[in-house]
Structure 1
Amino acid sequence: MTAPSAASDEEQFPGYALPPGTYIAPEIPRTRFTRTVGVWTAGIVVVAAALVGVSLMVTKKVPRYMCPPECGAPPMGKPVTGLPRFTAADGSFSVSYPAPGSAYEISTKDNGVTANFTGGDTGALQLFSEPARGRTPETIARDLLKQKFPDAKIAYEIPNAMVGYQRGYGEVADTWPQGTSNSYIRIRTVLLVAVKNDLALVAGAVGPYHAFGPDFGPGLPSGANVEIAQDMGKYVNSFRWQGDPPR
């Protein structure tokens, strides 16, 4: 055997001189997968708990009511504000009516107000009183309808009708008067009556029939089908008999 020839400088690999013996190389430390997942999970849990705690702190608690005795009050419409008010000469009742300069022509009598609607489909709104003389609201409504429109056909009765927050009676009726061009026009009447202290307070609206739908009307389901009825509610609620508290 021949001795290996001396290696060139390029083939030499410098290292460290160690005494002869047996050596053990230490294991390279590595982060375990389970530990990484555990750290991330713990962080997410802490953040989520903090968010839940903040949410509970800023959220108002819903009050709990016991009924009875805390049964609350029935829903009421918003009171009419900023409108003129008609008061009968004897003080028996009062009612709000459309303000001057609106799309109404206003006229008054001893027993109430008539507001002729000059915009859109036109029409008329009447807010007035009628001696009850022991009659029921339904009887008064039928008598008034027969006087004004003897050929009217009742379309339907208004459920839970109220005038001035007093339970009463309401109905919707149609008539078909002949127009100038020998054609018949469908006219719709909305009538509401309530009686208190033997005095009937009446709200009536009359105008051309115009079916409510996606392109016309309040946007909510309704069987009124007459434009002026959309502006009628706040005046009906504003009725007050003598002695009623302010609303």
Structure 2
Amino acid sequence: MTDEQPAHTGSEQYTDYAVPPGTYVAPEIKHAGLRRTLGLWTAGIVVVAAALVGVSLMVTKKAPRFMCPPECGRPPTGTPVAALPRYTAPDGSFSVSYPSPEAAYEVSKDGRGITAKFTAGDTGVLQLFSEPARGRQPRDIASDLLERKFPDAKIAYEIPNAMVGYQPGYGEVADSWPQGTANSYIRIRTVLLVAVKNDLALVAGAVGPYHAFGPDFGPGLPSGVNLQLAQDMGKYVNSFSWKGDPPR
């Protein structure tokens, strides 16, 4: 052992700071609790989500609200009827799509519009045509047409929020009972929809046997007006367009 190496006294010795002799208590090391950690995470997520929702609301264009009727807005989708033949009046005052030759219809045309005889199922007749308004309201035009074609018909109910070519108008459902064979009577249901623009009334009418749809009917949805022909009527009614109407 040399003079540079200190002698061992049986215990290790370390250079440190000296403290006065006594009893000391070390402070407890505190750890974040589980509830506090989860709370902080939840609060952070809520703040970030709220910020994202706020940004989304700021950049998203608000959809216009309409009071329908009378203001029913624009069509929610594109062109109502595509890939179907289209009739245009000789004077260009209106146009409308009509059933294709491959469908179960016999179609004829004249200067006023389209007449399509439904040859399947219950049969019936669909008419899509124009009528000079001459200052009359849609309700008056429908009454005049019904009186002219079915003078004995009884109004079953009015169609709420009726539209033709997305133009607010008037609609009604009526019944008549013409005499059939062997002194029997059949119930005929008529649906009329009329709208006026530029003093020109566009009319969609369907006539056929009353059909009491039941749970055994299918496939597809039953007619809400109890007329089988009306199941195919809506797309033609929506396709009406007056002269000058913007593309849908």
| TM-score in same-fold range (> 0.5) | yes
What amino acid is aligned across from residue 63 of structure 2 in structure 1?
Answer: C
Secondary structure, in 3 states, of the residue corresponding to 1:181?
Answer: helix
Return the alpha-carbon distance in structure 2 between the equivalents of residues 161 and 65 of structure 1. 34
**Which residue matches 1:70?**
62
Query: Per-residue CA shift, 1:70-106, capped at 9, x if unaligned?
Result: 1247563552000000000000000000001210000
Runs of 4+ in 1 over 3 A off after TM superposition: 63-66, 72-75, 217-223
Query: Per-residue CA shift, 1:169-215, capped at 9, x if unaligned?
Result: 00000000000121000000000000000000000000000012222
**Which residue matches 1:168?**
169
Return the alpha-carbon distance in structure 2 between the equivalents of residues 217 and 208 of structure 1. 18
Secondary structure, in 3 states, of the residue corresponding to 1:151?
Answer: coil
**Which residue matches 1:115?**
116
Percent of matched pairs sharing the same residue: 76
Gaps of at least 5 residues in structure 2 are 1-52, 66-72
**Which residue matches 2:159?**
158
- TM-score, normalised by the number of residues in structure 2: 0.70
Secondary structure, in 3 states, of the residue corresponding to 2:183?
Answer: coil
- TM-score, normalised by the number of residues in structure 1: 0.71
**Which residue matches 2:148?**
147
**Which residue matches 1:16?**
none
Aligned pairs for 1:228-243 (under 5 A) are 228-243=229-244
Return the alpha-carbon distance in structure 1 between the equivalents of residues 169 and 88 of structure 2. 21
**Contact 2:172/2:193 (CA < 8 Å) preserved in 1?**
yes
| TM-aligned CA distance change 1:217 to 1:203, over 3 Å | farther
Gaps of at least 5 residues in structure 1 are 1-60
Aligned pairs for 1:1-247 (under 5 A) are 65=57, 70-72=62-64, 74=73, 76=76, 79-216=80-217, 223-247=224-248
Return the alpha-carbon distance in structure 1 between the equivalents of residues 64 and 197 of structure 2. 25
What amino acid is aligned across from residue 181 of structure 2 in structure 1?
Answer: T
Return the alpha-carbon distance in structure 1 between the equivalents of residues 196 and 240 of structure 2. 12
Q: CA deviation at 1:112?
A: 0.2
Return the alpha-carbon distance in structure 1 between the equivalents of residues 57 and 137 of structure 2. 38
Aligned residues: 193
RMSD: 2.9
Return the alpha-carbon distance in structure 1 between the equivalents of residues 104 and 221 of structure 2. 23
